[in-house]
Amino acid sequence: MTLAVLTSRALAGVDAPAVRVETHLAAGLPTFTVVGLADVEVRESRERVRAAILNSGYDFPAGRITVNLSPADLRKESGRFDLPMALGVLLASGQVSVPPAPGGPGDDPLTHVVLAGELSLTGTLVPVAAPLAIALGTARDHAHAELILPAVSAAQAAHVPGLRVWAAHTLTEVVSHVTGAAPLAVARPAPWPEPLPLPCLSDVRGQGGARRALELAAAGGHSLLMVGPPGAGKSMLAQRLPGILPPLAAEHALEAAAIASLTGEPGCMGTQPPFRAPHHTASAAALVGGGARPRPGEISRAHHGVLFLDELPEFSRRALEALREPLETGQISISRAMQTVRYPARFQFVAAMNPCPCGWRGHPRHACRCSAEQASRYRAKVSGPMLDRIDLHVMLPPAQADWMSLPPGEPSAAIRERVVACRERQVARQGEPNAALVGHQLEACCPMAEQARELLRVAMSRLHASARATHRALRVARTAADLDGDEIIAERHIAEAVQYRLS
């Protein structure tokens, strides 16, 4: 054989598109050329591939070697193509041959095999970035695919169902596997890390109204804005939201972990929903993603979890504007000269703000120094369209002076049980949380008692509410009814939903 064709996966955003690695060996002066928009790292891999082949006890063929990575317009980074390139050189030079597939001589036995791994000079394999993205992409594209990865990466990839994942330590082991001499070990999924202990809602004393809003937000997946003076407990409450959310479904946990693995930080693999709380000095790029080599931003790291923006009006207008697309579509596209990448960003949006720049407006024991105009300008920093996308608006009263003497609040574990049961009702009825109900589905899923319908009509016309605001109230009322176990929305559910509306 003078031509070997193998399959690998590149990385574009959180997608891992397939890459054909074609290795051709021809007579001529010895050269080793990699074509197909290879960047510096891929060019460096020529040296690694050569050394790994020699140090694994094979010959590096004398002749013209051309490796073509296709499609050519795909940006390919990192040394992940070392392994398929090295195996390609060994196959093309005839040093390694693969027994024919059971399907007959015309069937390429390596068609279903996807390989990725960086080689060290000694021929051992170094873990690749984002193995979960590779595995999710492979599983989506082919049924019965096999994945050969460095052992550490394989243990992560093995979480993805529908794939056979092999764990390899060296180039020699991979060769023995494809020749049938000694199969690789089947990768066992690395156990999910123990969930971190989350702060409990029993720490929050008083603030019954806000606690109820938080429970509704958790139960229906609703976005939440808390307005109140410093010390009222806004951030304490937000930090306790993950502790009352339902655990992530397995596929959502994998998607969240795949994004975390792109950032190179230890991922929060597990069924605990992610919680991200970027500081208000965060740039638009840090918030939504970007950079010369695009990286996911906070909104994508909060995918399937919670994004909490404290002191919302302090964020730059540019950062807040950048949130509009993902709030609407659940994803973000980042365009760069060479490529456009897409990151998913379906997060639950929670925000907090003071009522005025100094924070004390309306407080019984502190004097507010702000003029009425300053206070209204402050609130106007958060644009109407953004407020319009928030289902629950809640005003927190100042903390009571004697809050220490109040009894502890209900613990998170008890609230979470109600939330989980409520979410199950929603998923059984419509397949998704109430917050995602729109249009026709909203009407179909929200049967109302006669008085409830009348109350909604009167309240919304009195508030001059838009259709969007009416839908927002209806979604919240649906969740209130689901928490009560009622299929028909009653007057009291509408009454509660309407009050979560400050604007």
- Which of 211, 346, 361, 472 is in the footprint of Zn ion by CB under 5 A? 361
The whole-angstrom separation of Cα 195 and Cα 181 is 41
Parallel, antiparallel or unpaired: strands 146-150 and 331-335: unpaired
Q: Does 136 bind Zn ion (CB under 5 A)?
A: no
We find the least distance from the C-beta atom of residue 361 to Zn ion, in angstroms, to be 5
**CB-nearer residue toward Zn ion: 63 or 362:** 362
Q: CA 435, 239, 346 angle in degrees (round to 5)? A: 35
Residue with tokens 């050569």: 50
Q: Does 379 bind Zn ion (CB under 5 A)?
A: no
- Which of 87, 370, 460, 477 is in the footprint of Zn ion by CB under 5 A? 370
**CB-nearer residue toward Zn ion: 361 or 393:** 361
The whole-angstrom separation of Cα 496 and Cα 494 is 5
**CB-nearer residue toward Zn ion: 14 or 356:** 356
275 and 305 in contact (C-beta within 8 Å)? Answer: yes
Structure token digits, residue 243: 């502790």
The residues in 384-443 that bind Zn ion, with binding defined as CB under 5 A, are none
We find the least distance from the C-beta atom of residue 366 to Zn ion, in angstroms, to be 9
483 and 418 in contact (C-beta within 8 Å)? Answer: yes
Phi, psi of 166 (to 5 degrees): -105, 140
Near Zn ion by CB under 5 A, which window of 93-101, 232-240, 330-338, 358-366?
358-366
Q: How many residues does the chain have?
A: 503
We find the least distance from the C-beta atom of residue 360 to Zn ion, in angstroms, to be 5
- Distances from the Cα of 320 to the Cα of 282, 285, 314, 316, 327, angstroms: 11, 11, 10, 6, 11
We find the least distance from the C-beta atom of residue 406 to Zn ion, in angstroms, to be 26
We find the least distance from the C-beta atom of residue 311 to Zn ion, in angstroms, to be 14
Q: Does 358 bind Zn ion (CB under 5 A)?
A: yes
Near Zn ion by CB under 5 A, which window of 4-12, 204-212, 362-370, 425-433?
362-370
* Sign of CA pseudo-dihedral 97, 84, 136, 177: positive
3-state DSSP call for residue 147? strand
We find the least distance from the C-beta atom of residue 339 to Zn ion, in angstroms, to be 47
We find the least distance from the C-beta atom of residue 372 to Zn ion, in angstroms, to be 10
We find the least distance from the C-beta atom of residue 78 to Zn ion, in angstroms, to be 51
Near Zn ion by CB under 5 A, which window of 14-22, 43-51, 173-181, 359-367?
359-367
Near Zn ion by CB under 5 A, which window of 192-200, 348-356, 426-434, 455-463?
348-356
The whole-angstrom separation of Cα 396 and Cα 91 is 69
49 and 119 in contact (C-beta within 8 Å)? Answer: yes
Burial call 110-146: b when 16+ CB within 10 Å, e when fewer? bebbbbbbbbbeebbbbbbbbbbbbbbbbbeebeebb
Near Zn ion by CB under 5 A, which window of 17-25, 77-85, 350-358, 406-414?
350-358
We find the least distance from the C-beta atom of residue 356 to Zn ion, in angstroms, to be 3
112 and 62 in contact (C-beta within 8 Å)? Answer: no
**CB-nearer residue toward Zn ion: 320 or 368:** 368
Kindly state the helix (H) or strand (E) to which residue 68 belongs, with its residue range: strand 64-70
**CB-nearer residue toward Zn ion: 329 or 371:** 371
- Which of 368, 394, 415, 477 is in the footprint of Zn ion by CB under 5 A? 368
- Which of 356, 394, 419, 497 is in the footprint of Zn ion by CB under 5 A? 356
Residue with tokens 């397949």: 431
Burial call 40-58: b when 16+ CB within 10 Å, e when fewer? ebbeebbebbbbbbebbeb
Near Zn ion by CB under 5 A, which window of 109-117, 352-360, 393-401, 409-417?
352-360
**CB-nearer residue toward Zn ion: 253 or 370:** 370
Give CA 13 to chain center in angstroms.
11
CA-wise closest residue to 322 among 301, 349, 299: 299
Q: Does 301 bind Zn ion (CB under 5 A)?
A: no
**CB-nearer residue toward Zn ion: 85 or 358:** 358
Q: Does 353 bind Zn ion (CB under 5 A)?
A: no
The whole-angstrom separation of Cα 292 and Cα 295 is 9
We find the least distance from the C-beta atom of residue 315 to Zn ion, in angstroms, to be 19
**CB-nearer residue toward Zn ion: 342 or 377:** 377
Number of residues that bind Zn ion (CB under 5 A): 5
The residues in 188-247 that bind Zn ion, with binding defined as CB under 5 A, are none
Parallel, antiparallel or unpaired: strands 18-26 and 64-70: antiparallel
> One-letter amino acid identity for 240?
R
Residue ranges that bind Zn ion, judged by CB under 5 A: 356, 358, 361, 368, 370
